[in-house]
């Protein structure tokens, strides 16, 4: 889930011919915040490190050998949150040369492995926007953004991001939880679950035409979709925005056939924590990190959400929901203090050292 602040969006460009530098280890004091993976061996990690300034600077690292060595890539300075309720700057990747970083203000993309960066203009009627979830799908950037009157899905066009007709909710972005899940289909959810106002989800197989879907969750719940993989059902976590007590929200897993059909709802998952990611591994196995009380629990199910087991606990919260299964067994997850990897479908996790 990503929360927002209001900012003006303007197009800028950065260029400079900077050169990435390979290191055996990350810069001293590097703290990872989120990651984007292209395979089990190649990925990007965005975080902070000392840079000779009074404050820490955004630092982007790239690995091609499963986090054994790192290449530091120059990255534009991004807006950082002043508290835990705003999303930390995030990295997404389409290839080794094309990737993007974004904050609540702007989306900065490179197509030459970080030598040059440019801002993706958002073509909207509102003079100010709040940028939410951003994903690559079918080679295009998709983003949820909104203003004081409505929240829309935007898709990359010839000169920036254009609103996708019909994929909108007429509520201020401050009140909307918007999520995007990719894979072999794009799932978009826009909801104001806190007020039990109309909620909607859309699905697209090609990134061009979107079909509105029956909402899979109950009134007052937000849908958090897993990335969809061929041969697996559509899966989501339905999370109640109104917690029964602070830091502990109601949640349940739902599934449906990818071709359409009845939604099956599992019993309520453990109440503790707020959902900080969700991934479907097989038709029965799923992993769901939850954050609460200063820790993150890795909940895992082998029966499609009927029961959940905590397989791992780490100190600190997850800043960005970046849980990613890069193949049938290997997954990565960051939190505010470390990068973790599982090679056994989420049964066990190991912290990766940057030293």
**CB of 171 closer than 8 Å to CB of 199:** no
pLDDT tens column, 262-292: 899 999 998 888 899 999 999 999 999 998 8
Task: Tell me if 287 is assigned to some domain.
Answer: yes
The dihedral sign for the CA sequence 37, 40, 259, 299: negative
- In eight-state DSSP terms, residue 195 is G
Task: Tell me if 59 is assigned to some domain.
Answer: no
pLDDT of residue 20 exceeding 50? no
In angstroms, what is the C-alpha Rg of the chain?
Answer: 19
**Cα–Cα distance, 270 to 305 (Å, whole number):** 10
Q: Which of 234 and 11 is assigned the larger pLDDT?
A: 234
Task: Tell me if 56 is assigned to some domain.
Answer: no
Tokens 């030293």 -> residue: 355
| Spatial CB neighbours of 53, under 8 Å, sequence gap ≥ 6 | none
Task: Tell me if 75 is assigned to some domain.
Answer: no
Task: Tell me if 120 is assigned to some domain.
Answer: no
**CB of 119 closer than 8 Å to CB of 77:** no
Tell me how many domains the chain contains: 1
Task: Tell me if 14 is assigned to some domain.
Answer: no
pTM over 0.85: yes
pLDDT of residue 79 exceeding 80? no
Containing domain of residue 248, as a range?
214-348
Q: Choose the weakest-confidence range: 103-107, 219-223, 322-326.
A: 219-223
**CB of 153 closer than 8 Å to CB of 142:** yes
N residues, the chain:
355
Q: Count CA atoms within 13 Å of residue 268 on its CB side.
A: 11
């Amino acid at each position: 889930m990503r929360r927002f602040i209001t900012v003006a969006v303007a197009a800028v460009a950065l260029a400079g011919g900077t050169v990435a530098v390979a290191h055996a280890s990350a810069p001293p004091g590097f703290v990872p915040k989120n990651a984007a993976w292209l395979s089990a061996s190649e990925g990007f990690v965005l975080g902070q490190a000392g840079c000779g300034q009074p404050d820490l600077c955004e630092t982007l690292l790239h690995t091609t050998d499963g986090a054994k060595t790192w290449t530091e890539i120059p990255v534009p300075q991004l807006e950082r949150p002043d508290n835990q309720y705003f999303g930390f700057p995030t990295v997404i990747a389409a290839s080794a040369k094309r990737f993007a970083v974004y904050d609540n203000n702007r989306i900065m993309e490179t197509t030459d492995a970080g030598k040059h960066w440019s801002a993706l203009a958002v073509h909207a009627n509102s003079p100010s926007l709040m940028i939410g979830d951003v994903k690559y799908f079918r080679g295009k950037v998709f983003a949820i953004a909104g203003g004081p009157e409505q929240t829309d899905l935007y898709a990359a066009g010839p000169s920036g991001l254009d609103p996708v007709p019909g994929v909108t909710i007429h509520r201020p972005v401050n009140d909307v939880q918007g999520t995007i899940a990719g894979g072999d289909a794009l799932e978009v959810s826009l909801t104001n679950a806190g007020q039990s106002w109309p909620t909607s989800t859309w699905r697209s197989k090609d990134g061009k035409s979107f079909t509105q879907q029956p909402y899979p969750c109950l009134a007052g719940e937000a849908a958090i979709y897993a990335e969809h993989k061929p041969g697996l059902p559509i899966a989501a976590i339905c999370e109640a925005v109104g917690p029964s007590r602070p830091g502990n929200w109601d949640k349940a897993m739902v599934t449906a056939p990818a071709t359409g059909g009845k939604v099956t709802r599992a019993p309520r998952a453990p109440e503790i924590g707020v959902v900080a990611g969700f991934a479907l591994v097989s038709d029965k196995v799923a992993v769901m990190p939850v954050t609460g009380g200063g820790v993150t629990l890795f909940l895992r199910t082998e029966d499609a959400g009927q029961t959940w087991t905590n397989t791992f606990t780490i100190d600190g919260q997850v800043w960005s929901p970046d849980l990613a299964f890069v193949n049938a067994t290997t997954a990565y997850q960051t939190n505010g203090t470390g990068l973790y990897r599982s090679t056994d479908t989420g049964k066990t996790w190991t912290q990766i050292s940057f030293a």
